[in-house]
Chains A and B, each alone.
Chain A
Amino acid sequence: QVQLVESGGGVVHPGRSLRLSCAASGFTFSTYVMVWVRQAPGKGLEWVALITPDGSIKSYGDSVKGRFTVSRDNSKDTLYLHMDSLRPEDTAVYFCARVDEPWTSISAALYWGPGTLVTVSS
């Protein structure tokens, strides 16, 4: 069965960097668009980043553009989110998700990990 498990969250000072990982299993990772979505405490869902199956196309939400980088290692079935210049407003649970259909970005997010909490605080 499809499984996604995020890791790498924790407490970090403002201005510092952090890398999140999402380990995937139960499907052919290299054929699916993957996304990162975050949720600040008590707030709604916010799309963060998307990456195509081969990693050639990446896109970002406006609030993280220029600071966050999404990548993937298809040989390790792992998705990453490298976060630089972290701000207190980046504090959130970060979810990775797989879209429903292979090879297309025009597909809803069907499978989700449980999320990992990132807290940016001095």
Chain B
Amino acid sequence: DIQMTQSPSTLSASVGDRVTITCRVSQSVSLWLAWYQQRPGKAPKLLIHKASTLQSGVPSRFSGSGSGTEFTLTISSLQPEDFATYYCQQYSGFSLYTFGPGTRLEIK
């Protein structure tokens, strides 16, 4: 089974900060990695797919990079609405859909 880790598990930051979240996968998933944002009580929202492709309508302050087993999500200048939990997910095949444990981004 593919294992996924995210770091940090919690991140404290201020409005305007640049933050980076890292996702590591136990085996290569090529570029088949997505990032989601989830606010409390809501469904997840797709931010980035194929490691670095910004989903339509998502602000350009969000960006993704990486390939293989290590990926990053960067928010260039935090806005108040960005404080949420972020999940990475690999989707490299029929039986290979896995989410990372999540990173909670909180206001410092």
B34 interface residue per 8 A CB criterion? yes
- Residues of B within 8 A of A (CB-CB), count: 26
Contacts of A61 in B (CB 8 A): 97
Interface string of A75-114 (1 = CB under 8 A from B): 0000000000000000000010101100001111110111
Residue B46 contacts which of A44, A62, A105, A108 (CB distance < 8 angstroms)? A108
Residue A45 contacts which of B50, B93, B102 (CB distance < 8 angstroms)? B102
B89 interface residue per 8 A CB criterion? yes
| A44 contacts B91, C-beta separation under 8 Å | no
* Complex Cα–Cα for A112 and B44 (A): 7
Contacts of A107 in B (CB 8 A): 49, 91
Give the contact-size bracket for chain A: 20 to 34
| A47 contacts B99, C-beta separation under 8 Å | yes
In whole Å, how far is A63's beta carbon from the nearest beta carbon of chain B? 11
Contacts of B34 in A (CB 8 A): 108-109
Contacts of B93 in A (CB 8 A): 105-106
In whole Å, how far is B99's beta carbon from the nearest beta carbon of chain A? 4
* Complex Cα–Cα for A99 and B97 (A): 12
A-B contact count (CB 8 A): 64
Residue of A nearest to B102 (CB): A44
In whole Å, how far is B3's beta carbon from the nearest beta carbon of chain A? 12
Contacts of B98 in A (CB 8 A): 47
- Top 6 closest A-B pairs, CB basis? A112-B43, A108-B34, A108-B49, A47-B97, A45-B99, A59-B95
Sample 30 A-B pairs with CB under 8 A, ordered by A number: A35-B97, A37-B44, A44-B87, A44-B100, A44-B102, A45-B36, A45-B89, A45-B102, A47-B89, A47-B98, A47-B99, A52-B94, A61-B97, A62-B1, A105-B94, A106-B32, A106-B91, A107-B91, A108-B34, A108-B50, A108-B89, A109-B34, A109-B36, A109-B46, A109-B89, A109-B91, A110-B46, A112-B43, A112-B44, A114-B43
Interface residues of B (CB under 8 A from A): 1, 32, 34, 36, 38, 42-46, 49-50, 55, 87, 89, 91-95, 97-102
Interface residues of A (CB under 8 A from B): 35, 37, 44-47, 50, 52, 57, 59, 61-62, 95, 97, 99-100, 105-110, 112-115
